[in-house]
Amino acid sequence: DGGITQSPKYLFRKEGQNVTLSCEQNLNHDAMYWYRQDPGQGLRLIYYSQIVNDFQKGDIAEGYSVSREKKESFPLTVTSAQKNPTAFYLCASSADRGHSNQPQHFGDGTRLSIL
Amino acid sequence: GEDVEQSLFLSVREGDSSVINCTYTDSSSTYLYWYKQEPGAGLQLLTYIFSNMDMKQDQRLTVLLNKKDKHLSLRIADTQTGDSAIYFCAETAKLQFGAGTQVVVTP
């Protein structure tokens, strides 16, 4: 079955440590996205990529980095510069590059906590 | 203000209809979407409406779009306990999501 796989489901970070969240899709989608979800708030866009080897900052990119070396994969690194990383992170993908015509499909999320 | 706004909570009795409301500011979106999120899970696409439509019905779900007022609503007929979840509306122009409406269905 096609879909989006996020791993791990739970992740713990120590102070000063970088951690990387994995997102893989086998839907052959061009565009991929990372969102952060905090309690009582909507999803906030961190980064998105419309094509391999290209990505753009979203609304809250500071303290995060991404790469898009393969169409199927869009890993997110939460760096030590992100002072409040505790949140639920959601990865999504959509079929078209313009993201305005196709719905996004979401993974099951990674919950990141600070030790 | 927020680009997409929703009320935060809705309580409904099993068997009744639920209506979740959403307002948005950017009128350039091609589509407007409704997603459902169950605890600890990702978002599941429920339905969507093309921006030049007024209404779309899909089984128990009815989406109404008032472009003049930039108002979107989702009606769930015969609400069941399995409909308890957080519902998000989203627009595509700026990839903005509302804060989500927590729907609680009581027996």
pLDDT tens for residues A2-42? 799 999 999 998 888 999 999 999 999 999 999 999 987 78
Tokens standing for residue B74: 């989702």
- Neighbouring CB atoms inside 10 A of A81's CB total 11
In angstroms, the CA B30 to CA B33 distance is 10
- Looking at the partner chain, which of A43, A105, A108 has a beta carbon nearest the beta carbon of B97? A43
- Using omega within 30 degrees of 0 as the cis cutoff, is the peptide bond preceding A75 cis? no
Phi, psi dihedral angles at B74 (to 5 degrees): -125, 120
Reply yes or no on whether the pLDDT at A45 is more than 60: yes
Whether residue B95 and residue A103 make contact (CB cut-off 8 A), yes or no, is no
Strands B85-91 and B31-37: antiparallel
Whether residue B33 and residue A103 make contact (CB cut-off 8 A), yes or no, is yes
How near does any CA of chain A get to the CA of B35, in Å?
Answer: 10
Average pLDDT, stretch A78-96? 92
In angstroms, the CA B46 to CA B34 distance is 6
Reply yes or no on whether the pLDDT at A97 is more than 70: no
Q: Give A 58-97 residues with CB within 8 A of chain B.
A: 58, 90, 92
Q: How confident is the model at residue A1 (pLDDT cuts 50, 70, 90)?
A: low
Mean confidence (pLDDT) of chain A: 91
Half-sphere exposure of B45 toward its Cβ, with a 13 Å CA cutoff?
Answer: 17
Reply yes or no on whether the pLDDT at B55 is more than 70: yes
Whether residue B95 and residue A109 make contact (CB cut-off 8 A), yes or no, is no
Choice between B71 and B94, residue whose per-residue pLDDT is larger: B71
Q: How confident is the model at residue B96 (pLDDT cuts 50, 70, 90)?
A: confident
Q: How confident is the model at residue A74 (pLDDT cuts 50, 70, 90)?
A: very high
Whether residue A101 and residue B4 make contact (CB cut-off 8 A), yes or no, is no
Counting every residue, how long is chain B? Answer: 107
- Residue A33, chain B, CB below 8 Å: the answer is yes
Reply yes or no on whether the pLDDT at B71 is more than 80: yes
- Per CB-CB distance under 8 Å, the chain A contacts of B44 are 106
